[in-house]
Amino acid sequence: MKFLCGLDKETFYIRANETYIMHEIFTRGPVVATYDVYKDFNYYRKGIYIHKDGGRPTGSHAVKIIGWGKENDVPFWLIANSWNSDWGEDGYFRILRGANHCNIEGGVVTAEPRV
């Protein structure tokens, strides 16, 4: 399966495709992603985050995608945030998967460390 675009010998962008991202997580572990942050994300507490209020992004943020799932037939990415365990779902959040929601699937990177 050829789905990586090389940055250098150890770091790769993963194509913006949920199957490729899932494959990478399954075979090598978590990946790093950036996504567009909107004002309503500041009020996230639990559940699957789906941006609804329009407007422009207030910034971007880097996170670690550690897995995926479905809740009530809604696919999501499970993401570890860096803000602490008091935030969101014990420091984690879920975001809509498969639609490049908030550009979450558009900037995914993985690394292959030298041993």
Sequence-distant (6+) residues with CB within 8 A of 22 are 68
pLDDT at 12: 77
Which residue in 51, 56, 54, 98 sits closest to 73, CA to CA?
Answer: 98
pLDDT at 9: 60
Q: 71: domain CATH number?
A: 3.90.70.10
CA distance 54 to 67: 27
Domain total of the chain: 1
Q: Which residues form the domain of 101? A: 4-111
Catalytic amino acids? 61, 81
pLDDT in tens, 39-67: 999 899 999 999 987 889 999 999 999 99
| 63 or 114: which leads in pLDDT | 63
CA angle 53/54/57 to nearest 5° reads 110
Specify the length of the chain in residues: 115
Q: Is the pTM of this model over 0.85?
A: yes
Whether 104 contacts 18, CB under 8 Å: no
Whether 110 contacts 12, CB under 8 Å: yes
pLDDT at 2: 46
**Other beta carbons within 10 Å of 106:** 14
